[in-house]
Structure 1
Amino acid sequence: MGIINVDGLFNKYFPNLANEFLLKGCSLKDFQKSVVTNVLEGNNTLCIMPTGGGKSLIYWLSGLSLQGITIVISPLIALIDEQTEKIREQGYEVLTIHGEISANKQVNILKKFSNGEVNPDFIFVSPERISTDGFFEYCIRLRKDEIKLIAIDEVHCVSQWGFSFRPFYKRIPEFLDSVYKHSESVPITLGLTATLNSKEITDICNDFRIDKDNVIKDDALIRSEIALKVLKFENEKEKEDKFWELLNIHKNEKILVYLYRKYHQRGVENLTKDALERGFKATGFHGDMSSKDRQEIINRYKNNDIDVIFATNAFGMGIDIPDIKVVIHFMIPESVEQYYQEIGRGARDIPAANAYVLYTNKNIQVKKTHFIDRSFPNIEELKECYNKITSNKIGLKTLQYFEDETIQKCLPYFLDNDLLSIRCKGVSNLKMLSDIKLQELEDIFNATKTKGIITTIKKTGLDPQYITNLIYLAVLQEKVTLQKGFPKCLIVESKCKNISDEKAEQLKEYIEEKKQYKHKLLDYFVYLLDEDNSSIQLHQEIGKYLGVPKFKLGRIYSTLKGDKVRSKSEVIIANLLYENGIEYEYEKKLFYRSGKIVPDFTITLSNGREKYWEHLGMIGTEKYDKRWTQKLKIYQENFPDQLEVTYEGATISDSAKRLIEQLKRI
């Protein structure tokens, strides 16, 4: 492939958005272009960029430019519906499959897709659907060659080491292997997220065959426009008193409070009630609410009918509120990653926000024992759940995954430790079938009186996947009538009758390793909080932890163009260049015969010539003067007549304006 003109593709596929950008005086970010280019060059890609950085547009543009169907795997129904609406507004066809669409309607949608009656540009689906819906997989397989991109939103959920691990994200590679077995037309994979540490990056790269060279991190990961404020207390009463003081200070501003606990003292419901009694326009937000109720709350929050939301981490991934001014962690997060992702809800489309974390030593211990440790099953739970699934027998079993929370909690441990394997995403019985017009399927149907799938498999000796595929084929060919939609059923194979002492020990070690890792993540986060860093220092420490290169940690000030620069004087210069329509790049490497230097600003003039603008902020100090003398010599010898200089001082705006007027006349 030749040089990829991403701006041209943007204008082609999103002319309305391109015009909006033009009117606002903005454009695609260089980082967005680099990710799209990497994908279009055929590389599986991991994109790490700050919240609110425009990741949706990356997979929209990549998918359409690849001229095929894009499957977007997304964790939340509300997010799926929001993205569906936005893409349809741009004139593109979207197919969505999720639990709030009736089972019969889902079957009809997929039938039309399989038969070519519906030709979507995008298919939105959850990881749970990918991993449990055999009919969906069967239909995708029929049109697999048309699928060019798999976009995995919030890809950090893949990593078993992360705070937001969703077990069925881990099964996405198995879905891809099943669909594309022996196929030469494997789609490109694009994972997108805001925060990952090195261990999680390794996990994701291994799962999705992403080379380290194709891990692309935005330079702007540091959200320095959010002022970080750390408040530690001796006891909970002191903490709560300060909390209500903060709410009064920021009254009538849009506030998000993270609690993690739904009920009981100082939980979401409890503090919401207290806030309402104190006169705040407040509500709660947690996972026990229906997605419809949660979406209604989000809409009311956007429309300023609510000022304060008390939330668990259910308020997180994919929720885009542009003007949250205050984020308060009333309960301590469990890691740097969780903290930074959650404060990233603030200042999405406003210049600044405040983020407070309030904690006591007791909070830290409670976080470990009541939240981290209890997120893992104990060995007794695992044994009981395994016996429930297998009835203490080896062989095939049906598993109604979504009907039992204990099974949802324990199944990943059985799969990862070779106690169970998933043989098929199928059906639990054949009673849903009637009016069968396919002889082979009718023979299978008549093989047993009970119509149970396991009994049928034993009686016929047929593979479960073969029987399931035959049912799917008959449905698509309208040679059978479904009494109801397909229930979500996994056919699993148990490897042993029960969990032996040896396996129990293996499970304990497996779980303990993960517990201790999460404890260490929390300990490191507390270490950063206890260091008494300023807001900028804390941002920089977090940036280092997240892998931002040392050279880029000083870029903490935002410009109109969207760059991050090192000083307020450079903000003035960058903004003046931008407002005057002068094309520039900040800290672009400049190569010469025996090395390279980095000008503050590389300016492209209307005649195509380049000028290099250096702002000397610390002239007069010995080390700085020595470095500048060496750099000046390089300019004189290699780039004569191309250097412009300004100096730090109270008149920097005037100096910069005069220089810009000179540049415009060249």
Structure 2
Amino acid sequence: MKLLETLKKEVKKYSDLDKKIKNLMKNINIKDNEYLAVKNNNKYTQYYKCLINPQTKELERVYIPKKDLSIAQELANKSFYNKVSKIIEERLSLLNGLIDSYENKNIEDFYYSLIPERRELINMIVPTWDQRFEKWRNEEYQVSKFPFESIEIYTKKGERVRSKSEKILGDIFTDYGVEYIYEKPLYLENGEVIYVDFTIMPKNSDKVVYWEHFGMMDKPEYVNNFIKKIELYARNGIYYGENLFFSFESSNMTFDIKNVERIIKKFLI
């Protein structure tokens, strides 16, 4: 889930910042009951070190001359760091609470924790991801009329594909549990239709992702068509690295399977 990943990144960012502040505060030689007072006149600024006398309970104020400006800086920084540390503490508490809620209080997880006999009686507020996925997978669509070559190549799912590379990709998706539809038509705003190599709905996400394999990248005309296709996708709100991914190869270079697996692990499962 993208939101959960973002929340965890925020937790790391604020945790690292909190550690940095604590390390900075170790180097500040200011007592807990001391603080800075600033007095502004029209001509100059005066700094005072203030504290409450523990015996008399009265305020004591000591003027800080220019030569001791570092004392004023330490007082100002300690006060600032203390307040920022409290802000970070509140932020981390909020973020960790949200993460706990997303990880442990999921509506669908609660639904599936019930016994089947009870689930059958429940009218779900919204369809589960499995139900939404089944509806998406079973949508009727026009199959591509582009003819296959004489050689027959099939994936583990028994689908006929157009190249050995597409078979490898399909089998990798299957091995990782990534559900896809081969050559499902994508209808663009201008009425044009693209038969996408692999249309994917990642687990627990309603975002549809497209994967195209480009297998003749050493041919200039093929590369030109590749560029046109990228631009066509972008004009329709489909962007590489967000909801569109590619794999490439040429006659001298096979596509990088490890890179395909990295993309799958980061974005599709």
Q: Place the TM-score, normalised by the shorter chain, in its bin.
A: 0.3 to 0.5
What is the TM-score of this pair, normalised by structure 1?
0.17
